[in-house]
Amino acid sequence: MIIAIILYFLLAFVLMGRLLLYGVRPTKTLAWLLAIFTVPVGGMLFYFILGRNRRKNKFYTLKKTKEISEYYANVEEYYSKLDNHKHSNIPKAIKEHIKLAKLITKGSKFLPSDGNELIPLKNGKANFKAIFSALEQAEKFIHIQYYIFEEGDLAETFKSILLRKAKEGVEIRFLYDALGSRTLSNSYINSLKAEGIEVYSFLPMKLGRLLSSINYRNHRKIVIVDGLVAFTGGINVSDKYISGDPVLGKWYDMHLQLKGTVVNSLQAVFTMDWSFASGTDHLLNTKYILKHATLGTSVAQIVASGPDSDFSSIQQLYFSIINNAKDYVYITNPYIIPGEALLQALQVAAMSGIDIRVLLSTNSDSFLVKWNVRSYFEDLLASGVKIYLYPDGFLHSKVIISDDALTSIGTANLDIRSFEQNYEVNALIYDKDITTALKNDFLKDCNKSSQMDYQQHLKRPKTDRLKEGLAKVFSPVL
């Protein structure tokens, strides 16, 4: 018993050293130190699951090949050009948002790309119709990555197309998150592998690394066909996107179809995740990279971040859009748990006269999340942020639009999990027409919704306040 206690405190002091070396915020570091030294076993266990700073202790660093070194050199060269934003090769839309473009280039390492065709896909039917059409036309390769891939009618359609394309000689790689797609059966996976399709899970739930990996999930959704067309956004593979949810009703979400050079950035995101999951770097071959082609008029920039990336790039993206808005910021997101920095940004913007609106569903797919989100309503409403509750079904979209100029569509929620613990990817669109169209859709949805009243909200029952407080306590694990 004495030996066990001595070993426990030795390990506790080792963890204390790690916290002091790699801790992020003093308050968070102090909280973990108190938990480790005052809650026997449990405090240390929770630290292993939730507490480690993955930005300092990376899961994975991509091998620095010649191609990657050359790419990073191009990123630095472009970043230097952005300092002189009168440079002729910089698109006008980028010049108008030079600070934001520089931020993403530096933080996420992806360059802005012009001459793209971008099509927002506003529901599940439109999304899967477009994806299946693209898959049917594949000639060289198909890369698929999902957080949730549930068996059902949609999954069967995916399988039938993929098996047929594999027989035609198309290279197919299939990546899924081990926790999000935990219901995916071995029989489904083996049926793909039997036809030569490469299949890997991201951070599989193995006993030896379960504590270190279970809280860090790959929330990205990416489909790439021949390097010519790609898809990303909030839509997973689940039949509820077509037939609805038995409890919540209609399930709304937003996805994006991309054609043009911007597809290369999504291919790079897939490559990094595939390399980590498979242990190979063969996707760095230039045959998976599209040469510059002008297919449309839109400028876009991919923003990716994860628990082991250098910066919280998507949080910085959201923060920058809110901080630099001149007229409005409209947000559609189901999980708004902003943390101190983004809460302050939203409040400061609203109090400065910027029209800040938040649209989310009346109902939620999680009791804890619902009340955690609602715990921020009072502070937001007090500062002038307008909150609209959509009554029909569940809004799962992750969209931010601003000033008839900028649109962000992607996988990242507005919460700490997406900023710090999940692998996420967003597309930032510098396009007036797309933003204006989505703004009109947003305002129509607001008209269908009920706007919250601050004074009325103050009168909510104490039981609601208690639920909010309890939910906030559990926010680190949401």
Q: Which residues are catalytic?
A: 219, 221, 226, 396, 398, 403
Q: What is the DSSP letter of 247?
A: T
d(C-alpha 478, C-alpha 427), whole Å? 24
| Cα–Cα separations (whole angstroms), residue 301 to 333, 369, 384 | 20, 30, 31
Which residue's entry shows tokens 């994975």? 60
Which tokens belong to 382? Answer: 């007090």
Q: Which residue has the tokens 């204006």?
A: 436
Whole-angstrom Cα distance, residue 140 to residue 186? 27
263 alpha-carbon distance from chain centroid: 17
Say whether 384 sits in a helix, a strand or coil.
coil
Question: Rounded distance, CA 418 to CA 411, Å?
Answer: 8
Dist. CA 58–CA 290, nearest whole Å: 30
The CA distance from 369 to 337, in Å, is 8
Q: Torsions phi, psi of 85, nearest 5?
A: -75, 10
By C-alpha distance, which of 1, 120, 103, 186 is closest to 397? 120
Based on its alpha-carbon atoms, the radius of gyration of the chain, rounded to whole angstroms, reads 23
Q: What is the DSSP letter of 474?
A: T
Pairing of strands 141-146, 222-225: antiparallel
Q: How many CB atoms lie within 10 A of CB 160?
A: 11
String of DSSP letters for 108-172 = H----EEEEEEEEE-SHHHHHHHHHHHHHT-SSEEEEEES-B--SHHHHHHHHHHHHHHHTT-EE
Distance between CA atoms of 99 and 79, rounded to whole angstroms? 11
Phi, psi of 439 (to 5 degrees): -60, -45
From residue 239, how far is each of 152, 195, 426 by CA, in Å?
6, 25, 23
Distance CA 68, CA 63 (A): 8
